[in-house]
Amino acid sequence: MSTQFKQIAGDTYWVGKIDNRQVPFHRLILAKGTTYNSYLLKTGKPTVIDTVDMEFGREYAECLAGMIDLMDIHYIVINHTEPDHSGGLAALASQALNATIVCTEIAVPELQEMYKLHSRNFLVVKDGDTLDIGGKTLLFKETPYLHTAETMITYCIEDQILFPCDIFSTHVAVENLFSDEAGFDITEDYKGYYAAIIHPHRRYVRTLLEAVKDMDIRMIAPSHGFLIREDIPKFIDLYATMSRETTQGKKAVIVYTTIKNSTKKMAKIIQDCLQENNIGTEVWDADKSSTADILNSIASADAVFIGSSTKYADMIGNLEDVLKELQHMNLEGKLAASFGSYGWSGEAIEVIQDYLNGTNMTVQSTSEVIKTTGMTHVEFPVRVRFSPKEPEKVQKIKNAAEFVSDLLLSSI
């Protein structure tokens, strides 16, 4: 079925593609298909909000051309650059030659590279900015990591319509646009979408809830599945409930050896971050503690961070005794991560990672983080060159500790 359009309020139109194939998506198969929802606001300065999947870009542009002279489009708002949202931009922008592309700063180079738009006009918007689109006003709120760094949401102040891109979506290929016309309760589909796409980023749901708490929302018009105009507080509250941390009483153990205190400082940053997230901590300098005490502590931990400075391409001090013993313990269900400061290559950190991989703990790695969440700002092992005093180094360590905290405190 080709791209369609439908009036959803006053001068606001849904322009979308219903895709009822079981397509692969984020390592899922969308069993019920999905829809790609774009919106046209026929205001004094006609504005398009998001597009459709790149596979359907040409038919999407043709559909829009049946609704409006594409040369009259003033703005194209891109809330999120993933190609199921921005994919129609190449076909649209090549005909909507007067349109300015509106997005966050991070999104600009991504869109320029993806669609060869280096010569186009971009308008960068920041959190809280507004834009007059000719009789209506759009308000933009940045929602980073929901679920990628450049993401924002758009709210039409006069119409009280929220365009939250992936957020508040469902993956269901349906003819009836609105959830209240579905003929069934969409709650399970809504929760399933949240669990698959949003939950790995639940830390950032708090930012979202803060952003929308003072908005009077009459309609939620997301990028996938149903539009919501009834029980809106219930659906927003579900995000609050599902992202809440309910599992308290968790403990993490941090074990390290250090040459000049840089790895010790890393351990302290990890400890502080875990404690801020209500994770209990026990910290051991392996050169000043008995191996038996450390192993007992690890045996009752939920997560283990092990770090060493690197000297002559290896670990230092007594850490290897601990790591060897761990190979013989049943540590199933525990999370593990390695870290360390280094000056040249940081071999010790990789050796620790190898030892951890020899246990039956769930060892954190950058590869797994990317595969399971798409996050690229969280790195394991946590490697820092020299002292962790610069803010970006501290942030890198915190990102890792927060990630482990979130895993420990997940409510679903």
Where does this chain bind ligand FEO (CB under 6 A)? 80, 82, 84-85, 147, 166, 223-224
Do the Cβ atoms of 78 and 88 come closer than 8 Å?
Answer: no
Q: Pick between residue 153 and residue 351 the one whose CB is nearest to ligand FEO.
A: 153
Least distance (Å) between residue 166 CB and ligand FEO: 4
| Rg, Å, the chain Cα set | 25
Q: Pick between residue 166 and residue 285 the one whose CB is nearest to ligand FEO.
A: 166
Other C-beta atoms closer than 10 Å to the C-beta of 252 total: 27
Residues 191, 5, 85: CA angle, nearest 5 degrees = 50
Burial class (CB in 10 A: 0-12, 13-18, 19+), 163: buried
One-letter amino acid of 30: L
**Cα separation of 191 and 196, whole Å?**
9
Q: Pick between residue 30 and residue 266 the one whose CB is nearest to ligand FEO.
A: 30
Q: Pick between residue 80 and residue 393 the one whose CB is nearest to ligand FEO.
A: 80
Burial class (CB in 10 A: 0-12, 13-18, 19+), 180: middle
Q: Pick between residue 85 and residue 250 the one whose CB is nearest to ligand FEO.
A: 85
Run of H or E including 363: strand 362-363
Least distance (Å) between residue 218 CB and ligand FEO: 23
Least distance (Å) between residue 34 CB and ligand FEO: 8
Question: Which residue in this structure is represented by tokens 């507080």?
Answer: 233
Least distance (Å) between residue 349 CB and ligand FEO: 32
Do the Cβ atoms of 352 and 319 come closer than 8 Å?
Answer: yes
**Cα separation of 401 and 288, whole Å?**
24
Q: Pick between residue 43 and residue 223 the one whose CB is nearest to ligand FEO.
A: 223
Helices (H), 107-231: 107-115, 187-193, 205-212
Least distance (Å) between residue 276 CB and ligand FEO: 29
State the greatest distance between any 2 C-alpha atoms of the chain, in Å, as a whole number: 76
By beta carbon distance, the residue nearest ligand FEO is 82
Q: Pick between residue 191 and residue 251 the one whose CB is nearest to ligand FEO.
A: 191
One-letter amino acid of 190: Y
Q: Pick between residue 76 and residue 401 the one whose CB is nearest to ligand FEO.
A: 76
Helices (H), 216-328: 232-243, 262-276, 291-299, 319-326
Least distance (Å) between residue 194 CB and ligand FEO: 13
**Cα separation of 370 and 353, whole Å?**
18
**Cα separation of 259 and 267, whole Å?**
13
Q: Pick between residue 82 and residue 379 the one whose CB is nearest to ligand FEO.
A: 82
Question: Which residue in this structure is represented by tokens 């999407």?
Answer: 60
Pull the structure tokens for residue 253.
């153990």
